[in-house]
Amino acid sequence: MFRSRNWPLRLLGAGTLLLVAAADAAAQTESEPNRGWDPGCYGFNIDVGINLSTTNTGDPVAVSPDLWYTPVRRVRLVLGHSPQSAGGFYGTAGYPAEPHGLCVTGEANGCARIYDSFNAGADYWAVMGNFNAIFWARGVVRSVADHWVGATLGASLGKALSGGKLLLGINPNMYIGFTKRGGGNTELLTVPIHAMYVLSARIMIGIQTGIAAPPDAIRDGYRLPLGIGVMFTAKERMAIGAVFNLFAVTSGRSLPAGPDSRALSIMVSWTR
């Protein structure tokens, strides 16, 4: 079943349709952005990703800080290092093939370089019918040393259901490579889907899946990850979270899949 070439795309499509249908039926529209989108607000998120793959546990460890500032209402400027800041999945900062941010374990333990990637851009908050939406763009340096430069364009759609207890979201985006295209810096389509459930005023649990694939080779080059996480609101402005992630529950012919490739990410965020 895991090696079927068709069911991951069907599952993703069905999940997307269910997400959209549920959000349309639920019907809570938030007319104003939350506090983090008021002028003068700023904050950070730090993601510590630890590779837990079978043959390379602890190699590498990456520390990925994201910083943001809101100069005017509904617009946020971002300097990011984590995979999710440029459109990826939560919990993949320890991915052994592509560490993000500061890789701190050294060349002998999975780090090609201590610092080799970052992204910068802007987010815009909008309300579209029953959805809250963030439209965003990033300039991305995938590798400083290899001169891999590109950009990501994406949209994040979210909806709160069941009186705010269930939070659903989808984040389709496309990376486009500008340089070194012949060396592999080409397009990548990523569609994360997540659901979070509020257990109490301070604790949420969540699950994330979706698909990442080159648009011209989806059948052979896709991967479908799975992340399970928890978030704890420690104080009014601070949250702590953890995500256990399988990099590819299933994948195309050109990528490995299975439970042996995995990571743990610990995240701390603060907003003012």
In angstroms, rounded to a whole number, what is the distance separating the alpha carbons of residues 11 and 63? 32
Residue 3 predicted with pLDDT over 60: no
Q: What is the mean pLDDT of residues 174-189?
A: 94
pLDDT of residue 7: 45
Give CA 129 to chain center in angstroms. Answer: 24
In angstroms, rounded to a whole number, what is the distance separating the alpha carbons of residues 18 and 40? 37
pLDDT of residue 31: 42
In angstroms, rounded to a whole number, what is the distance separating the alpha carbons of residues 89 and 68? 19
Q: Write out pLDDT tens, residues 124-146.
A: 998 776 778 999 999 999 989 89
Find, among 47, 46, 97, 41, the residue nearest to 69 by Cα: 41
Answer whether 211's CB lies under 8 Å from 191's CB.
yes
In angstroms, rounded to a whole number, what is the distance separating the alpha carbons of residues 145 and 204? 39
In angstroms, rounded to a whole number, what is the distance separating the alpha carbons of residues 150 and 173? 13
Q: Write out pLDDT tens, residues 148-172.
A: 999 999 999 998 888 889 999 999 9
pTM: predicted TM-score of the whole model, two decimal places: 0.84
pLDDT of residue 163: 83
pLDDT of residue 22: 38
Residue 21 predicted with pLDDT over 80: no
Find, among 232, 239, 187, 195, the residue nearest to 213 by Cα: 187
pLDDT of residue 255: 80
Q: What is the mean pLDDT of the chain?
A: 84
CA angle 130, 134, 136 (to 5 degrees): 155
Residue 16 predicted with pLDDT over 60: no
pLDDT of residue 2: 41
Measure the CA dihedral 145/148/153/155, to 10°. -50
Q: What is the mean pLDDT of residues 65-80?
A: 96
More confident residue, 12 or 37: 37
Q: What is the mean pLDDT of residues 61-68?
A: 93
Catalogue all structural domains in the chain, each as residue range(s) with its CATH number: 7-271 (2.40.160.40)
Measure the CA dihedral 90/238/229/127, to 10°. -60
Q: What is the mean pLDDT of residues 12-25?
A: 43
pLDDT of residue 47: 92
In angstroms, rounded to a whole number, what is the distance separating the alpha carbons of residues 118 and 85? 9
Q: Write out pLDDT tens, residues 192-216.
A: 999 999 999 899 999 999 999 999 9
Residue 84 predicted with pLDDT over 90: no
Answer whether 258's CB lies under 8 Å from 240's CB.
no
Q: Which distant-in-sequence residues (6+ apart) come within 8 Å of 159 by Cβ?
A: 22, 23, 26, 28, 130, 131, 132, 167, 168, 169
Amino acid identity for residue 92 in this structure:
T
**pLDDT band at residue 97, thresholds of 50, 70 and 90?**
low
Q: Write out pLDDT tens, residues 37-58.
A: 899 999 999 999 998 988 888 8
